[in-house]
Structure 1
Amino acid sequence: MDFFNSALGKNITFVRPAYFVISGFSGILNIKYYYVFLCFVYIVSVLGNTVVMTVIYLDHNLRTPKYIAVFHLAFVDLFGSSALMPKLLDIFLFNHRNIPYNDCLTFLFFCYTCLSMQVLNLVALSYDRLIAIIFPLHYQVKVTHRFMLSLIAFFWTFVITVVLIAVGLLTRLSFCKSVVINSYFCDHGQIYRLACNDNTPNYVISWLLIALILWLPLAFIVLSYVCIGYALCKVATAQERHKAFKTCTAHLSLVAIYFIPILTTFTLMSKIHPNARIINLSLTSVFPPMLNPIIYVLLTQEIKVSLKKILKLRNESKIKVKKVITK
């Protein structure tokens, strides 16, 4: 901490505020209807991801490396939604916009960690599809349970380390101008821009985060699907190409849902109203956790079959219980 504080300079008094004020969504008409919509999104996210995790846990046939990644994605979506949504609704629906300094940094840490893990989980699923289609004969050797668990553990270690560095660098900042954060949560970029001392290290780590957790994963995913497309062009029949590509539809849908709104916001950053930017980014945070389980249930044949099997067994057990009771 002394090292961080030494960067303030001799002529600046270090000021750590008691709280920050979250000002996002201010001045938007009928915004309470949006909060009700967010409540609905959160409930669907919790139920949907819980169902996906339960189905994968109960069906031993789904305990493959691919579905380890799917299970982990559902867990991260559930964890991320629970880290963001209740606090977001508390801030804006009940007008508790003042958030203590330490609570704000904790809120930031969990939100950024979960959002980053969502992206990196898409990378794991992309790698799984890449090996399954290009090297099908070596798939069981290259993509094992141990490999997938090790990859997920590495992603967690990497993300927690990078986000902790970003949060640690925020503690060296002095806030002697304003404590109003123009966002819907404790946004790293909005916080460091409020500082009245040198925020260059924060600026650097911010762009490093964007490069490592947004652009690099997106580049890997795009490149992997270029390779998949090239490999499918060599497949003999159109039916085989369609069957192979069908296994990628769920993953491609998740990639589109996550990245298109972010890329749109970054591209039109200077042309759209700040409130429109905040709403778009908030939807980017809350929509994927809601849609991911729906997409996997609708587009993945294995999960649909497993879900039907579990529901059938449950109905049969209920019928047996009723017969026993009537006897």
Structure 2
Amino acid sequence: MVENSSNSTDILTLQGFDLPPQGVYAAFIFAMLSYLLIIFCNVFLMSIIIMNKSLHQPMYILLFNLPINDLIGSSALFLQLIKEILLDSRYIEASNCIAQAFFVHVYWVTGALILSAMAYDRYIAICNPLKYSTIMTNSHIAKIIASVWLVALLLMGVLFGLLLRLPRCRSLISQTYCDNPSLLALVCADTTINNIYGLFITAGLQVFAVGMILYTYLQILLACFKNKHSDTKSKALQTCTTHLTIFIILECLGLFTITAYRVKQLSPHLKRMIGVSTLIFPPIFNPIIYGLKTKEIRQKINMAIRNTVNP
């Protein structure tokens, strides 16, 4: 592809996995099965929450937003990836690339904020049980959910607004999908403001999310040790373990991805695999972990399966 120094570079090239011809079919099957599994698991979890009025509680209303976010992130990756494999083409329009990058970053930010909101909900439920119903009202939950999505969209809107003002002079994306760092590498102008803003929101989000998780879970643990009722203690710890597991998976994959960008000695193929993993594994693991580890959801799933097998 001929590269130019103007914003007329409307077709970009994604760096693929360099699969041999015999590996294309295997890659297509893997991508399709992974995407279908993600859709099934997340839609199934959402359906369980919708159809059971006993799950229409603040905790599960917040949880309902997690599979929505997982579907956004995985769709941003797989729709382009499957198209790329089917057409045997690595080319992507710049507008589609920017849209994919925008939704990928919204997925990352929203995931951290949703888990922070869920930790706050558990903190109120366990540490202030008598005030829970008066604090976590429907209007309060609606404000939390709206704030999560609005903050994510606003932060990413500014990030990509700063990106769109810069001219591109290169067209090769170093990843198998589009994201802000890869698009910023195509720019032939000063990116200092973009870098500062990107580092600011990354650090700010990490401080907020990790701080919220550490504080609330520490308070929850202290409350559990003070509680003499073993059933209440075990239920609270089980809920926190589920949330913490999801959060650690998301944080570790995000940390690996950020580190991979900065380690030049790392294999390019390994960098791409790490990058893709952040959009594959959490959307698969999240509904499975919540379905298996959350007693109320597990009971509803078992009931739904029994009703399907023996109507």
In the alignment, structure 1 residue 293 sits paired with structure 2 residue 284: no
Distance change in 2, residues 1:237/1:306 (3 Å): closer
Once the two structures are TM-superposed, the CA of residue 24 in structure 1 deviates from its matched residue by 4.0
1:156 corresponding residue in structure 2: 149
Q: Distance in 2 between matches of 1:239 and 1:306?
A: 20
Match of 2:53 in 1: 60
After superposition, the Cα gap between the structure-2 partners of 1:30 and 1:148, relative to the gap in structure 1 and judged at 3 Å, is: farther
- Any conservation in 2 of the 1:21–1:98 contact (CA below 8 Å)? yes
In structure 2, how many angstroms separate the alpha carbons of the residues matched to 1:18 and 1:231? 57
Match 1:82 to one of 75, 81, 99: 75
What's 2:161 paired with? 168
Q: Give me the whole-angstrom Cα distance separating, in 1, the residues matched to 2:238 and 2:266.
A: 36
Matching of residues 1-327 of structure 1 within 5 Å:
14-26=6-18, 32=24, 33-34=26-27, 36-92=29-85, 94-176=87-169, 178-236=170-228, 240-267=232-259, 269-270=262-263, 272-315=266-309, 318=311
Structure 1 stretch displaced more, 55-64 or 305-314? 305-314
> Does the residue aligned with 1:99 lie in a helix, a strand or coil?
strand
Shift in Å at residue 50 of structure 1?
Answer: 0.9
What is the CA-CA distance between 1:228 and the residue it aligns to?
1.9
TM-score by length of 2: 0.88
Distance across 2 between alignment mates of 1:208 and 1:19: 30
- Does the aligned pair in 2 maintain the 1:189–1:206 contact within 8 Å? no
Instruction: Give distance in 2, aligned partners of 1:156 and 1:102.
Output: 22
Quote the offset at 1:302 in angstroms: 0.6
Return 28-37 or 241-250, whichever deviates more: 28-37
Q: Give SS of 1:21's match.
A: strand
Q: Deviations over 1:65-102 (max 9, x none)?
A: 11101111112212322232111222245332111121
Distance 2:36 2:305 in 1: 21
CA positional deviation for 1:214: 3.8
Q: Tell me, what secondary structure is at the counterpart of 1:183?
A: coil
Letter in 2 for 1:129: R
Question: For 2:20 and 2:269, how far apart are their aligned partners in 1?
Answer: 7
Change (3 A) 1:235 1:258: same
Give the TM-score normalised by the residue count of structure 1.
Answer: 0.84
Q: Contact conserved, 2:217 with 2:240, CA < 8 A, in 1?
A: no
Q: Is the 8 A contact 1:28 1:275 kept in 2?
A: no
Verify the 8 A CA contact 2:100 2:179 in the aligned structure 1: no
What is the DSSP-based 3-state SS (H/G/I as helix, E as strand, rest coil) of the residue aligned with 1:247? helix
Deviations 1:239-293 (A, max 9, x none): 6533320122221221122112222444564253232122112111111111111
Q: 1:186 to 1:66 in 2, by over 3 A?
A: same
Alignment root-mean-square deviation, CA: 2.5
Distance 2:67 2:197 in 1: 28
- Determine helix, strand or coil for the equivalent of 1:248: helix
Q: Which amino acid aligns with 1:179?
A: S
Per-residue deviation, 1:58? 0.7
For 2:227, what is the secondary structure of its paired residue?
coil
Secondary structure of the 2:12 match is strand
| 5+ residue gaps, structure 2 | none
Counterpart secondary structure, 1:138: helix
Cα distance in 2 for partners of 1:28, 1:111 equals 28
